[in-house]
A = this chain, B = another copy of it.
Amino acid sequence: MTPRQNRNRDRADRGIPEATVARLPVYLRALHGLQDRGVATVSSEELATAAGVNSAKLRKDLSHLGSYGTRGVGYEVEYLVYQISRELGLTQDWVVAIIGVGNLGRALAGYGGFASRGFRVAGLLDADDAIVGEEISGMAVEHIDRLEEVIAERSVSIAVIATPAGAAQGVCDRVVAAGVTSVLNFAPVVLSVPDGVDVRKVDLSIELQILAFHEQRKAGGPDGYGDGPPGPAHYVEAVDA
C-alpha cells in the first residue's frame, strides 16, 4: 500500500508540525507590523526576513495551512493575517486567569499583547491577603480560595501560573480539577498533569543557563581548553554557588 495515510488532505492539513505552530505567532506579529505600515502584499523573502527565518522555511510552514499566496506576486498581508489567526484560534477570545500576583503576575496583567490579540484576562488571584483587593490594570485581585468559582463562572480556559515554585503544583492540580486544559507555567518546577492537559513552561533561569553555556564556549570551552581535567578520578569539590 501507499506509504501515506489513505487521505492526504488537500490543503490545511490539520496535522501541522509543532515547529510550524511555534513560528506562526512570529509570522503573525511581522504581518501586523507590515499592516501598520500600510503594506498590502509581501513576498516570502521579505516576510521571512522580518520574522527572522529563511524563506524556504516560511514557504514550507505556510504551505501547511494551504495555498494562500499568489505565484509570481507574494502573499496578501490582510488575508494571510486572517488565515493564520484563524489557524491559531485567535478569531475567538480566550479567557485567561493569572494566579500569583507578584511582580511577574503584574507584568503579565499589564501586558498589552494579551488583550489585543485574542486573550482576555478575567481573573487575578493570589494567596496573600495584603494583595487581595488591590486593583491592578483595572482589575481587583481576588483570593485564591475563589479559584474554582472564578474558573467556572467566567469560563476560564487558560491558567497562567506565576506563583512561587512551592505553590505551583498545588495550584496546577486545582485548575486542572476545575476543568482547565491549558496551562502556562512560569514557576521553576516540572508540573505533572494528566493526559489531555497542555503545559507550556517559561523559565528565565534556564534561558540564562543556555546563554552561559554558549558564552563559555566562545571564551574557549569549559575550564579553559580541550579536554581539561574531567574524569571520575578528578573529583573536585562541588562548587555549589
Contact = CB atoms under 8 A, between A and B. Distances in A.
Interface of A: 7-12, 14, 21-22, 24-26, 28-30, 50-52, 66-68, 76, 78-79, 81-83, 85-94, 96, 102-104, 106-108, 110-111, 113-114, 116-119, 157-158, 181-184, 188, 190, 192, 196, 198, 200, 202-218, 221-223, 226-233, 235-236, 238-241
19 contacts: A9-B239, A12-B227, A50-B190, A78-B232, A81-B238, A82-B228, A82-B239, A86-B222, A88-B212, A89-B212, A89-B222, A104-B107, A106-B107, A114-B205, A116-B241, A117-B205, A119-B212, A157-B215, A184-B211
Contacts of A9: 239, 241
Given A51-B190, A228-B82, A182 B209 contact: no
A116 B8 CA distance: 52
Given A214-B198, A215-B157, A228-B82, A52 B190 contact: yes
A131 to B, nearest CB: 14
Contacts of A213: 21, 24, 87-89
A56 to B, nearest CB: 18
Contacts of A66: 230-231
B114 A110 contact: no
B82 A117 contact: no
Given A8-B227, A79-B235, A103-B107, 18 more contacts: A14-B217, A25-B205, A78-B232, A82-B231, A86-B223, A88-B212, A88-B216, A90-B209, A94-B208, A103-B110, A108-B204, A118-B209, A181-B215, A181-B218, A184-B204, A196-B218, A198-B214, A202-B202
A85 B241 CA distance: 10
B215 A94 contact: yes
A26 B209 CA distance: 10
A185 to B, nearest CB: 10
Contacts of A223: 86
Contacts of A235: 79
A14 B26 CA distance: 32
A64 to B, nearest CB: 12
